Amino acid sequence: MSAERRAWLTIGAAAAACVPGIAFRLMGYHPPAVAGAATFGLAILAAAFLLSWGAETAEMDISQGLALAIIAIIAVLPEYAVDFILAWKAGADPAEAERGLAVANMTGGNRLLIGVGWPLVFFLFFYRTRIRELVVDRERSLELTFLAIATLYVIFIPLRSHVSVLDTIVLVSLFLMYMFFTSRVETEEVELVGPARAIGALQAAPRRAIVIVLLVYSAAAIFASAEPFAESLVHIGEQFGVSEFFLIQWLAPLASESPEVLVACLLAWRGRAAAGMGVLISSKVNQWTLLIGTLPIAFLVSAGEFGWTVGLPLDARQRDEIFLTAAQSAFAIAVFANLRMSRWEAAALFSLFATQLFITNEHARVLYGAAYAVLCVVLLAWNWRSVPATLRDAVTVMRGREIAGHDAEEEPGGLVAIEPASRD
């Protein structure tokens, strides 16, 4: 059997694996918890493969930055769906608003993305290459700059008692500006492998049509499967007596964040770790701007209230959760201030995230937030020479110009600061 035929059979098998998840959702059928987790989880995994192949092929026609942004938007659809439902319920029922589940899901998803997703991509990269630093493309300075602006804004939200329409205007505007500037990045030549190569070998018209179909189909599969997958995980957790807040904050986002993490890991495994990290950085920008910014709209429409100074209410615990999430984001930005991540930085991101899961004391969230803030300051001070260059690169991308001297130079100690091919 030829390699091209195997590639098309692989695409067909992945598409078929999505069918049960979509069909069950359309029929309103909910399998038992374990069977549901397996069925809908497999659909999400298969959709992630389709999404990665379609997006890689799309880089033949659009910039890598825009392709990664499209991946990120599609991949975070489950997180949007779950959080919208929780915000809508909070607006319809004051008792639901007091439980703070929308903020729990949003903060949990954001912290999982950085605390698990970013280190996972790095360690896959390290396993495949044995190189101690992962260097991302200098065009990623655009995402990091917008992420820094959004983080600087969000970190002050806990000073208030709600997330309002004013926050919607600021954060959604940041997202639209980010998408506009991302679309101006010039297209670069890409080398496709596997199923993406089979699609890319087609003529322009059928290739583009198949890419669109794959993106739309994978989006439908992810959107259809994520919520029932999260519900299945929650039901499994309830059988073991786990609290609802913990389940909504960690198990549900584990399902909704899995598509973009899987896509990023697939790219890293195929020797494109920098692109995989680009997906996760772009996903973080999306969630930290568009997701937070649209929650007040869902809440206010459901509640039937309208005004500039009202919105999704925040109690003390929710404000602490937002502060901790913003502090983690600030530390993550400081990690990539020089557009690279080292082993100890990846380990620090994972360790700080993993240890906080087992500490339920309310004051621990503030202490962890303070620890993130201190580490952020230390890293920025250590890499202060790199910050102006990263900002200049971001401005260059915004102007639609190509960054001069794109290839990184060799670093002291014999490390080459470019992403190598995999060992396969």
Q: Is the residue at 359 inside a domain?
A: yes
Whether the per-residue pLDDT at 390 is higher than 60: the answer is: yes
| Mean pLDDT along residues 97-108 | 85
Which pLDDT value is given to residue 422?
39
Which pLDDT value is given to residue 186?
63
Complete DSSP assignment for 231-296: HHHHHHHHHTT--HHHIIIIIHHHHHSHHHHHHHHHHHHTT-HHHHHHHHHHHHHHIIIIIHHHHH
Range scoring the smallest mean pLDDT among 58-72, 202-216, 218-232: 58-72
Whether the per-residue pLDDT at 69 is higher than 80: the answer is: no
Q: Is the residue at 413 inside a domain?
A: no
* Domain CATH code at residue 375: 1.20.1420.30
Q: Which residue range forms the structural domain that includes residue 256?
A: 3-406
Q: Is the residue at 313 inside a domain?
A: yes
Which residue's structure tokens are 């080292």?
342
How would you classify the pairing of strands 340-342 and 133-135? antiparallel
Pair of tokens at residue 381 = 């001070």
pLDDT band at 17 (very low <50, low <70, confident <90, very high): very high
Q: Is the residue at 179 inside a domain?
A: yes
**Contact yes or no for 326/119 (Cβ under 8 A):** no
| Mean pLDDT along residues 197-225 | 89
Name 37's bridge partners. Answer: none
Domains identified in the chain, total number: 1
Which pLDDT value is given to residue 87?
87
Q: Is the residue at 385 inside a domain?
A: yes
Average confidence score pLDDT of the chain: 84
